[in-house]
Amino acid sequence: MNLTLARIVPLFFSMWLSIQCVFAGESDRALAEQIDQHVDAQLVAAKVSPVATLGDAAFVRRLFLDLTGRVPTRQEWQDFQQREDANKRLLLVDRLLDSPDFAFQLRNELDMMLLARKTHNDAWREYLLAACRENRSWDQLFQEILLPEYKLPDQPGPAAFIRERVQDLDELTNETSSLLFGVNIACAKCHDHPLVYDWEQQHYFGMAMFFKRTYRTRNGLVAERPEGQMKFTNIIEEEKQAEFMFLTGAKVDEPEGNLSKEELKRIEELVRKAEKDGKAELPPLPEFSPRKEFVALAVDSAEANYFTRNIVNRMWARLMGRGLVHPLDQMHSENAASHPELLDALAADFAQHGFDLKRLIRGIVLSEAYQRSSQWSSEELPPAPELYAVAVPRPLSPWQLSLSLLVASRNPETLPGLDKPDDWEQQRQQFESQANGMARRLEIPDDGFQVSAEEALFFNNSAQVENDYLRDSGNRLVGYLKTIEDPESLIHAAFVTVLTRPPSDQELQAMLQYIRAREDRRVESLQQVVWALLASPEFRFNH
């Protein structure tokens, strides 16, 4: 790519400007500025200039999707538009982070990251929601999830992470390692990792040892046995005893047990019964708990690198469309981060500020890097994605899409959203349960996500889409559009409500022509216009 002076000067100017802001006392943008320094430095080194910053409308839509998990209502957008405050983007960020929507959105994201690919679990989701509402710290969540309470009558919500995986030790080991530490060690099960020197068989079995004794009782509690060892055979057929060993190689020694053989036998018998019978006596927990040791080791300052960098990287990837370490579960020495110092800086900041997810998210969305346009109009190929020079269009998650369909298909007059905060939390709660069915039939997007023909057929031909999003009634968008006489205003209202932007001239003309050709079936034509907007890629993606 050619780099002209004209393109690079503004870049330096913006860097200078951001440095000035720090001195001007805007220290609450400090994290964002750090991000931009690192990202900009690499852009300069690669001689690439980033695309322009998003316009207001696109920014508001992106921010609402990321922080509230839904599109903005028309009124929320217009309210932002009318503000004249120079700081209004920052103000909106803080407003959304404090809104009731944020907890719902973070809950849904954590659920999709940790469990929803396997199963839907209401108690777990309730637990996450309560935790997100009080902005519980990530290390606290981690401990609650891996060390759930062991008591009846209720199955504790956080136990689901282990409970749903414990029947398969390999799955529990590898998914804990991938999701919570960014390290996929499955390759090291049968042999030392062929490509990555970091991962040897002993690490795989070392990690598995921490979960080997974990089991679930018939009534859904997660507990541990007093005993359990593992051996593994390496490729030269040597048999080895597995140790309690963390990814970093740090080990835990098991203290000499003080239970007699008979006592151990009795407990094993209780465990067997409790696994089969929900009414059986609960076996006692052993004094030495490998899982407890694991949790202590994983968050201990000397070993916590993986723990903090993983969640920072996952949060970054969710908001930026690509991890600093990519793929997300390949955090090892052969796969360096695109911006190693930035990852270190974000991880350090995260750990210093009490593992506060909200602070981290805030820092990222306030950065220039986050606020870049997703449009690339040059004939040349776009720059490498790890430069973050242009935003990647991200498919909406099942929850984002399902909730956005509900919000966008409402009568905008009767749905002020956050502009009427008293009613809003309850309304949001209602949307959340209405969104459930649709969210669960959609796929959670991965890298290289593709829309299925099934989805397109569903949007085209299912009665559910017609009933839920296109109904002609007073509190729905179609019902509202029907009351607008002037076709141009009507089309304008439909675009702003669904896509948070006015129509282009070409779009306006096409829609006008469409409606005018169907004056004998006006309501149907309005349904079809709304359908075209809801089924557009512009609605399907966060861009």
Partner 1 sequence: MTDSHFCGSPEHRISRRGWLGTTAAAGTALAADMTFLDVLQSPALASELQTRQKRVILLWLAGGASQFETWDPKPGRPTGGPFAKIQTSVPGIEISELMPKMSTRLHQHTSLIRSLNTRIADHGTAYNLMLTGRVGEPGVDFPDMGAVLAHELGQIDSEVPDYVSMYTSTEGRRKGKAGFLGARYNPMFLTDQMTPENIGKLDSISSVDHRDRAALRQLLAKRFSSDRPSPSVASHNTAYERVRGLMASEKLFDIDQEPRSVRNAYGPTQFGEQCLIARRLVEAGVPFVKVARAWWDSHGQNFETHLELCADLDHCMSALLDDLQQRGMLEDTLVITLGEFGRTPNINGSLGRDHFARAWSCSLSGCGIKPGTVYGKTDEDGNTVVDGEIGAGDLFATIFKALGIDYHKEYMLGSRPIPIADFGAKPVEEILA
ω before 421 within 30° of 0 (cis)? no
For residue 91, the tally of other CB atoms under 10 A from its CB is 13
Rounded distance between C-alpha atoms, residue 35 and residue 492, angstroms: 38
Instruction: Please select the residue that binds partner 1; options are 34, 99, 108, 178, rule is CB under 8 A.
Output: 178
Instruction: Please select the residue that binds partner 1; options are 30, 259, 264, 392, rule is CB under 8 A.
Output: 392
Residues in 143-172 at the binding interface with partner 1, rule: CB under 8 A = 168, 170-171
Instruction: Please select the residue that binds partner 1; options are 12, 16, 197, 449, rule is CB under 8 A.
Output: 449
The string of DSSP letters for 77-135 reads: HHHHHH---TTHHHHHHHHHHTSHHHHHHHHHHHHHHHTTTT---HHHHHHHHHHHHTT
For residue 356, the tally of other CB atoms under 10 A from its CB is 17
CB of 337 to partner 1, least distance (A): 15
Site membership for partner 1, residue 466 (CB under 8 A): yes
Closest CA to 42 of 393, 349, 389, 392: 389
Q: How far is CA 312 from the centre of its chain?
A: 11
Instruction: Please select the residue that binds partner 1; options are 133, 136, 189, 251, rule is CB under 8 A.
Output: 189
Q: Which is nearer to partner 1, 155 or 371 (CB)?
A: 371
The string of DSSP letters for 430-442 reads: HHHHHHHHHHHHS
Rounded distance between C-alpha atoms, residue 31 and residue 48, angstroms: 23
Q: Which is nearer to partner 1, 9 or 517 (CB)?
A: 517
Closest CA to 246 of 169, 177, 335, 308: 177
Residues in 333-362 at the binding interface with partner 1, rule: CB under 8 A = 335
CB of 316 to partner 1, least distance (A): 18
Phi, psi of 219 (to 5 degrees): -90, 20
Rounded distance between C-alpha atoms, residue 272 and residue 222, angstroms: 14
The string of DSSP letters for 479-504 reads: HHHHT--SHHHHHHHHHHHHHSSPPP
Q: Which is nearer to partner 1, 300 or 524 (CB)?
A: 524
For residue 154, the tally of other CB atoms under 10 A from its CB is 12
- Please check whether residue 316 is in contact with residue 310, taking contact to mean a CB–CB distance below 8 angstroms: no
CB of 319 to partner 1, least distance (A): 17
Site membership for partner 1, residue 233 (CB under 8 A): no
Site membership for partner 1, residue 535 (CB under 8 A): yes
Site membership for partner 1, residue 507 (CB under 8 A): yes
- Residues in contact with partner 1, counted by CB under 8 A, come to a total of 66
3-state secondary structure of 429: helix
Of 40-48, 178-186, 248-256, 401-409, which segment contacts partner 1 by CB under 8 A? 178-186
Site membership for partner 1, residue 27 (CB under 8 A): no
Site membership for partner 1, residue 310 (CB under 8 A): no
Q: Scan for tokens 């590898």, then name that residue.
A: 174
Q: Which is nearer to partner 1, 314 or 543 (CB)?
A: 543
Instruction: Please select the residue that binds partner 1; options are 90, 186, 250, 264, rule is CB under 8 A.
Output: 186
Site membership for partner 1, residue 382 (CB under 8 A): yes
Site membership for partner 1, residue 473 (CB under 8 A): no
Instruction: Please select the residue that binds partner 1; options are 329, 349, 368, 386, rule is CB under 8 A.
Output: 329
Site membership for partner 1, residue 458 (CB under 8 A): yes
CB of 393 to partner 1, least distance (A): 5
3-state secondary structure of 318: helix
For the four alpha carbons of 342, 128, 77 and 505, in that order, the dihedral sign comes to: positive
Site membership for partner 1, residue 488 (CB under 8 A): no
Q: Which is nearer to partner 1, 11 or 187 (CB)?
A: 187
Site membership for partner 1, residue 531 (CB under 8 A): yes
Rounded distance between C-alpha atoms, residue 196 and residue 335, angstroms: 9
Sequence-separated (6 or more) residues with CB below 8 Å from residue 256:
none
Instruction: Please select the residue that binds partner 1; options are 463, 486, 505, 520, rule is CB under 8 A.
Output: 463
Of 66-74, 231-239, 265-273, 438-446, which segment contacts partner 1 by CB under 8 A? 438-446
Positions touching partner 1 (CB under 8 A) are 168, 170-171, 173-175, 178, 184, 186-187, 189, 195, 327, 329-330, 335, 374-377, 381-382, 392-393, 395, 443, 445-458, 460-463, 466, 504, 506-507, 510-511, 514, 518, 524-525, 528-529, 531-533, 535-538, 540-541, 543
